[in-house]
């Protein structure tokens, strides 16, 4: 799926900022788009059939251009490095660059963090992992800002405890919170053949309580997803008692977290992780790929924004705001905020996103500062 990539400010009503995300355009960071030609005298600047603002808003404003923005995602791999996990760790190492390439190729602005014991060199044969270039640096080193390896022992049952304790650790070498971006969507990828000693609800509550506030969202609107490569037996229902052949446990706590957050569950017993990580990459691209950063001006009043789609030939469609993702199936041309009270992202419903990306050059425009209809 091609991603919305270029963020520019186009012409709009006086007092209304208009930002446009052009689908399928150049992915170069910092790229700008030349100002659009101004509308004719007396025109609203939205074109025929476009939304209009309050009647007291005067002539069209001058065009401005902002820096390129992309959807952001921070991905955290948490890898059980106990003795039984040596082959699984090797599979992560062999396939993580292909995984990262698929994320980057979709246009997402991504970062990857590893929580696991780090190898001292590519030749290290211990229960450690070395992330090779291009994602990792030379000789198992970090590759800032794209990749950070937190050298941390992760054992059979403590993955979730490690996530919580290292996030804001007093030890700067362990504290991975400083590598996260507040506006980025957070993705966890758990790899283990065992079970968690920390219950699902306890982990979720503690994670949502981390500072800064809303880093991982709220119980009503989570900004993280948890993918699980665990002892689940492929072909059985989630949370069944059947574990796969080489696993110690089913990893039901991790499965519960995936179910809670809309994540993917796959089997840690597979001898080849290429398809597993491809599937997770696809899930990330679908989840985050249709997310657009909310313009700063909107945060003061989320009710003053209209979103529309403009095709390369100029045909415009005003998109309909809905309250949440559950309304996507019953509402055409729809979008919603990630958080209706304190939004950071405009989320296009799947069919809306697919239609926008079907024609290269289609723009999703956010008309900011004008009163909008209430969400359906």
Q: How does pLDDT run across 332-371, given as a tens digit for each residue?
A: 999 999 888 888 788 888 888 888 777 777 777 777 777 7
Give residue 70's pLDDT band: very low, low, confident or very high (50, 70, 90): low
Whether the CA torsion 38, 39, 42, 47 is positive or negative: it is: negative
CATH of residue 149's domain is 3.40.50
Considering the domain architecture, whether residues 63 and 172 belong to the same structural domain is answered as: no
Average pLDDT of the chain?
Answer: 82
Interatomic CA distance for residues 105 and 254, integer angstroms:
28
Matching residue, tokens 């396939």: 95
Residue 375 lies in a domain: no
Q: Which of 79-83, 95-99, 311-315, 318-322 has the lowest mean pLDDT?
A: 311-315
Give residue 260's pLDDT band: very low, low, confident or very high (50, 70, 90): very high
Do the beta carbons of residue 194 and residue 241 sit within 8 Å? Answer: no
Residue 374 lies in a domain: no
Residue 344 lies in a domain: yes
Whether the CA torsion 289, 75, 172, 165 is positive or negative: it is: positive
pTM: 0.74
Identify the domain boundary among 253, 288, 323: 288
Give residue 103's pLDDT band: very low, low, confident or very high (50, 70, 90): very high
Domain boundaries, position 174: 72-288
Considering the domain architecture, whether residues 78 and 166 belong to the same structural domain is answered as: yes
Considering the domain architecture, whether residues 242 and 297 belong to the same structural domain is answered as: no
Do the beta carbons of residue 373 and residue 303 sit within 8 Å? Answer: no
Give residue 55's pLDDT band: very low, low, confident or very high (50, 70, 90): very low
Considering the domain architecture, whether residues 138 and 277 belong to the same structural domain is answered as: yes
Considering the domain architecture, whether residues 141 and 26 belong to the same structural domain is answered as: no
Residue 322 lies in a domain: no
Considering the domain architecture, whether residues 123 and 252 belong to the same structural domain is answered as: yes
- Interhelix angle 159-167/200-208, rounded to 10 degrees, is 10
Considering the domain architecture, whether residues 164 and 283 belong to the same structural domain is answered as: yes
Considering the domain architecture, whether residues 31 and 172 belong to the same structural domain is answered as: no
Amino acid 369: pLDDT: 73
Residue 261 lies in a domain: yes
Identify the domain boundary among 288, 323, 347: 288
Interatomic CA distance for residues 333 and 32, integer angstroms:
27
Q: Where are the alpha helices (DSSP H) in the chain?
A: 86-105, 159-167, 200-208, 252-261, 274-288, 350-358
Interatomic CA distance for residues 193 and 87, integer angstroms:
11
Considering the domain architecture, whether residues 98 and 217 belong to the same structural domain is answered as: yes
Whether the CA torsion 260, 262, 263, 264 is positive or negative: it is: positive
Whether the CA torsion 249, 251, 252, 255 is positive or negative: it is: negative
Cβ neighbours around 260 below 10 Å, total: 15
Give residue 230's pLDDT band: very low, low, confident or very high (50, 70, 90): very high
Interatomic CA distance for residues 374 and 302, integer angstroms:
10
Considering the domain architecture, whether residues 362 and 274 belong to the same structural domain is answered as: no
Residue 329 lies in a domain: no
Residue 101 lies in a domain: yes
Residue 182 lies in a domain: yes
Considering the domain architecture, whether residues 65 and 76 belong to the same structural domain is answered as: no
Identify the domain boundary among 226, 254, 288: 288
Q: Which of 14-23, 59-68, 107-116, 158-167 has the lowest mean pLDDT?
A: 59-68
pLDDT tens-digit profile of 266-282?
999 999 999 999 999 99
Q: What is the tally of structural domains in the chain?
A: 2
How far is CA 247 from each of CA 24, 86, 277, rounded to the nearest angstrom?
43, 13, 19
Do the beta carbons of residue 345 and residue 294 sit within 8 Å? Answer: yes
Considering the domain architecture, whether residues 153 and 46 belong to the same structural domain is answered as: no
248's tokens: 């110690």
The secondary structure of 150-163 as a DSSP string is EE----TT-HHHHH
Give residue 315's pLDDT band: very low, low, confident or very high (50, 70, 90): confident
pLDDT tens-digit profile of 2-39?
443 333 323 233 333 444 554 544 333 333 333 333 33
Amino acid 356: pLDDT: 79
């Amino acid at each position: 799926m091609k991603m919305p990539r270029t963020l520019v400010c186009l012409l709009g009503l006086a007092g209304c900022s208009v930002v446009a995300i052009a689908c399928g355009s150049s992915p170069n960071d910092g790229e700008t788009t030349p100002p659009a030609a101004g509308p004719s005298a007396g025109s609203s600047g939205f074109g025929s059939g476009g939304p209009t603002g309050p009647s007291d808003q005067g002539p069209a404003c001058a065009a401005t251009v902002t820096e390129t923005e992309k959807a952001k995602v921070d991905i955290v791999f948490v890898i059980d490095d106990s003795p039984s996990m040596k082959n699984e760790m090797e599979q992560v190492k062999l396939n993580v660059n292909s995984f990262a390439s698929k994320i980057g190729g979709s246009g997402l602005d991504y970062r990857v963090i590893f929580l696991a014991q780090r190898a001292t060199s590519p030749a290290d044969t211990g229960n450690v992992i070395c992330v090779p270039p291009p994602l990792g640096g030379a000789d198992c080193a970090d590759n800032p800002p794209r990749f950070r390896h937190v050298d941390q022992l992760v054992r059979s049952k403590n993955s979730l405890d490690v996530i919580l304790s290292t996030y804001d650790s007093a030890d700067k070498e362990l504290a991975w919170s400083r590598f996260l971006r507040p506006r980025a969507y957070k993705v966890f990828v758990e790899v283990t053949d065992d079970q968690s000693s920390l219950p699902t609800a306890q982990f979720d509550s503690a994670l949502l309580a981390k500072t800064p506030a809303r880093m991982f969202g709220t119980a009503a609107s989570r900004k993280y997803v948890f993918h699980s490569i665990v002892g689940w037996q492929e072909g059985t229902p989630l949370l069944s008692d059947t574990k796969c052949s080489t696993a110690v446990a089913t990893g039901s706590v991790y499965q519960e977290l995936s179910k809670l957050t809309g994540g993917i569950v796959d089997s840690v017993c597979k001898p080849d992780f290429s398809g597993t990580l491809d599937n997770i990459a696809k899930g990330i691209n679908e989840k985050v790929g249709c997310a657009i950063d909310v313009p700063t001006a909107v945060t003061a009043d989320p009710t003053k924004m209209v979103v529309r789609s403009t095709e390369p030939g100029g045909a415009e469609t005003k998109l309909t705001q809905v309250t949440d993702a559950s309304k996507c199936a019953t509402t055409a041309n729809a979008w919603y905020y990630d958080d209706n009270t304190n939004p950071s992202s405009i989320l296009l419903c799947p069919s809306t996103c697919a239609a926008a990306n079907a024609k290269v050059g289609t723009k999703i425009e956010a008309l900011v500062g004008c009163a909008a209809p209430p969400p359906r």
